[in-house]
Amino acid sequence: MGLPGGVAGAAVCHGTAVDEQAWIAEVLREPILQPCVRVWIYRRPALVLGCSARPDADLAERAAAAGMDVCVRPSGGGAVLAGPWLLGASVVLPAHDARVAASIPASFRWLGVAHAAWLQGLGIAAGAVPAPVAFPGSALRWSCFGSLSHWEVQSHGRKIAGLAQARRRNGVLFSSGILIQPSPWGSLCDALGQPREDAAALAGRTVSCAERLVAPAQAAALSQSLLERLSLLVGCANSGTPG
């Protein structure tokens, strides 16, 4: 298959979460010699499940009825509803890169701090949390945005960016998802068969760039600035916007 932007360098990709997972699988097929970065603008909704999820036929049926793709990512954590309201980033590093700390929690630090700095540069008060933060109410562990884990990013106590990681013999994938618009939390709950009350709880625990910015949160501009920050940080050439 033709992969958006090939497998090297840095690029913004317009595609689906299914395309993103295909790209990751292809990239990690061979040993990673140089860092590579993709920022994803999602064209259509997709339910992206953590690696330990086992989607059944009911879930697939509900998602299909709602017009969503379903995919399982190689990294851990709860489910995410990808779509035009979310930016995704994939940073793939060589297995022995200095940023891949032995401690799993510590290895998220550089990425969380980079996302917080990027958001601050946009004018959003944001910070990466060094330790998990418990929200009042039920844990909502089934959803990535239901909790704040090590070095994930918040703005005034509400989660704005989630992180995850997959360590493989050939390299290490760091992933992030940033809310640029409010997510349709009800659709996520419905697709996963979770109670509708959880949608209100998720809305209360999260915030998007659009809600924090005065100017409109344009995916194209945000994706380009995030790509520039991440690619500069990991030392990776920008190979353009393949579309």
Rounded to whole angstroms, the Cα distance separating 167 from 205 reads 29
Site for another protein in 134-163 (CB under 8 A): 149-150, 163
Rounded to whole angstroms, the Cα distance separating 20 from 41 reads 10
Binding residue (CB under 8 A) for another protein from 16, 21, 75, 194: 75
- Our CB check for another protein shows the closer of 33 and 104 to be 104
Q: Any contact of residue 51 with another protein (CB under 8 A)?
A: yes
What number of chain residues touch another protein (CB under 8 A)?
A: 25
Q: How far is the CB of 149 from another protein (least distance, A)?
A: 6
Binding residue (CB under 8 A) for another protein from 25, 33, 65, 104: 104
Identify the bridge partners of residue 15 per DSSP, sorted by sequence position. Answer: 42
Strands in the chain per DSSP E: 10-15, 36-42, 46-49, 69-72, 80-82, 86-93, 127-128, 153-155, 158-168, 171-179
Q: Any contact of residue 127 with another protein (CB under 8 A)?
A: no
Q: Any contact of residue 35 with another protein (CB under 8 A)?
A: no
- Our CB check for another protein shows the closer of 73 and 229 to be 73
Residue 156 DSSP class: T
Q: Any contact of residue 164 with another protein (CB under 8 A)?
A: yes
Q: What tokens appear for 168 in the block? A: 């493989």
Q: How far is the CB of 154 from another protein (least distance, A)?
A: 15
Residue 238 DSSP class: B
Task: Count other C-beta atoms under 10 Å from residue 182's C-beta.
Answer: 13
Residue 145 DSSP class: G
Q: Any contact of residue 105 with another protein (CB under 8 A)?
A: yes
Cα separation of the two ends of the chain: 15
Quote helix, strand, coil % in the chain, to nearest 5: 30, 25, 40
* Choices 62-70, 101-109, 185-193, 219-227 (CB under 8 A): range interacting with another protein: 101-109
Q: Any contact of residue 131 with another protein (CB under 8 A)?
A: yes
Q: How far is the CB of 156 from another protein (least distance, A)?
A: 23
**Residue 92: closest CA among 144, 177, 162, 165:** 165
Residues that bind another protein (CB under 8 A): 50-52, 74-77, 102-108, 131-132, 149-150, 163-169
